[in-house]
Structure 1
Amino acid sequence: MEGTSPVLWQIDARGVARVEFNRPHVNNAYDGALIDGILATLNALSTAAGLRAVVLSGRGRHFQAGADLQWIRQVREQDMAANVRASRMTAEAIRRLGAVSVPTIALVQGACFGGGTGIVAACDVVVAAENAVFSIAEVRWGLTAAIIIPQLSDAIGVRQVRRYAVTGERFDAKEARRIGLVHEVVPPGQLLETGERVVGHVLENGPEAIRETKSITCDGERKPLTAEQFDALIIGHAAKRCSEEAGEGLASFVEKREASWVTHHARRNDAT
């Protein structure tokens, strides 16, 4: 696949779609254009004849390093309606990825942070290279992971979300497999080969049987959010982006310094 679009995709003769995040210069961090690209790709795939599987990957060294914080700062400076739109389109991209009727397979190398963890949580099969590193890092910048919490709760359980979404700490591929975010861990050089093996298994099975099985499985997961609950997550996500705390967190990123609350925490530790 070649091109300058932030999301590249193609379907081979077997009906296997290859979708690739194409912002390697910023570690495939998402901005409005990348989210639009995901939504446009999902629209195209939803009407593609003979689709059998979707394989997601990231161009370059990293899978998807969460939000582009420069873009987040730009959105934050706009009005609340613009912030809600940004949160809604991001939430819709993750929700629609989880609703794709054919198997979705994520191949993860390098960084998989923030929204990247939501993407893999929404996929059916996740294969990670040994060099993959994960985090649900929004709280580090005074933001929340609200719009991907449902997918993460389904993938790794509320108990693990309660740890990793509040600590923001990084964890390796081995830990990601232990908690259920990843199904298989392989050497980096075997990532594509392993993904192809998974695709091969999928193609050995009845397409309609797979669709029905996936539908039944998804219906048996956590009770779907109501429209009101979904809207509340989106509005809360947008409001937190506009908060003073988020402003400080994002400023600390740009200025390459610790946020004010890190300094306060250190002072408390020094006093004990």
Structure 2
Amino acid sequence: MNDTVLWKVDGRGVATVTLNRPAVNNAYNGDMIAGLHAAMDALAQEPTLRVVVVTGNGKHFQAGADLAWINTVAKQTPRENDEVSRLTAEAIRRLDTCPVPTVALIQGGCFGGGTGIAAACDIVVASEDAIFSISETRWGLMAGIILPQLCRAMGVRQVRRYALTGERFGAADARRIGFVHEVCPADALRGTGDKIVDAILMNAPAATTATKLRTLASADAFVDDGEMRDLIQEHARTRQLAEATEGLASFKEKRKPAWYPG
């Protein structure tokens, strides 16, 4: 266990999973990925689990990948890069296919992998100050392992804009395009989430699980093993290309990347 992901389950069977690297805006690294797997392993053993609420400690929900960590991973062997991408992709898939309803509460920045976490949840509530961005291409990377969830959450037309531009968009636009279900004042985020959780708890547990899983199956929303393998390999290889090296260097040096004209 590590403290980058915290979890607890209350007497109603409502779990809260909290991303806990507030000093770096909850940017994910190897420890956080391991923490997500540990949380899901633990919750899978909870016989009374009814709902999972995903939150982020601090000012921001989740600011994407820790780019210093990505730079370190990129210098490792192809096999080691495949393993990092596999663990990351499996964490998203496990959240996506969690048999109980999942609710994400988003405040502040939700970038890169953070949008993947949100897309993998059944219900998303955002505070009015929330800002979203599918930002990987800015750094010479790609959002490959979360693109299936993003396409199903906001639609391929919107992904074709926001994943190709890396633009930031606010909570109101996120709701307009269907990525977010509810927008509320920052001080009402938890309360709004509690109302949704209470609505879920009124429903029969087994029927709720069956409805969720049948909905995913009917929408062809499960990522099969073959597609998963391709996503992992492409994600890992992109991290080791020259564009990623330049993108990460531009981030560290606080400058525009070499591919920007002029």
Q: TM-score, normalised by structure 2?
A: 0.98
Q: Distance in 1 between matches of 2:202 and 2:222?
A: 31
Name the stretch that deviates more: 204-213 or 132-141.
204-213
2:207 equivalent in structure 1: 209
**Contact 2:216-2:222 at 8 Å conserved across structures:** no
Q: Distance in 1 between matches of 2:61 and 2:19?
A: 8
**Contact 1:4-1:22 at 8 Å conserved across structures:** no
Larger Rg: 1
1:108 equivalent in structure 2: 106
1:145 equivalent in structure 2: 143
2:174 equivalent in structure 1: 176
Alignment RMSD: 1.1
Runs of 4+ in 1 over 2 A off after TM superposition: 222-226
**Contact 1:65-1:115 at 8 Å conserved across structures:** yes
Evaluate the alpha carbon distance shift between residue 199 and residue 225 of structure 1 in structure 2; reply closer, same or farther with a 3 A threshold: closer
Name the stretch that deviates more: 203-212 or 21-30.
203-212
Task: Please give the per-residue CA displacement for 1:29-73, whole angstroms capped at 9, x wherever unaligned.
Answer: 000000000011111111211001000100000000000000000
Q: Distance in 1 between matches of 2:10 and 2:222?
A: 33
**Contact 1:11-1:17 at 8 Å conserved across structures:** yes
1:40 equivalent in structure 2: 38
Q: Among residues 65, 68, 76, which one is paired with 1:67 in the alignment?
A: 65
**Contact 1:114-1:137 at 8 Å conserved across structures:** yes
Q: Distance in 1 between matches of 2:46 and 2:243?
A: 44
Where in structure 1 are there 5+ consecutive unaligned residues?
A: 268-272
Deviation of 1:226 (Å):
3.2
Name the amino acid aligned to 2:20: N
Deviation of 1:228 (Å):
2.1
Name the amino acid aligned to 2:157: R
Evaluate the alpha carbon distance shift between residue 10 and residue 85 of structure 1 in structure 2; reply closer, same or farther with a 3 A threshold: same
Task: Please give the per-residue CA displacement for 1:200-219, whole angstroms capped at 9, x wherever unaligned.
Answer: 10111111110111111111
**Contact 1:28-1:63 at 8 Å conserved across structures:** yes
**Contact 1:154-1:222 at 8 Å conserved across structures:** no
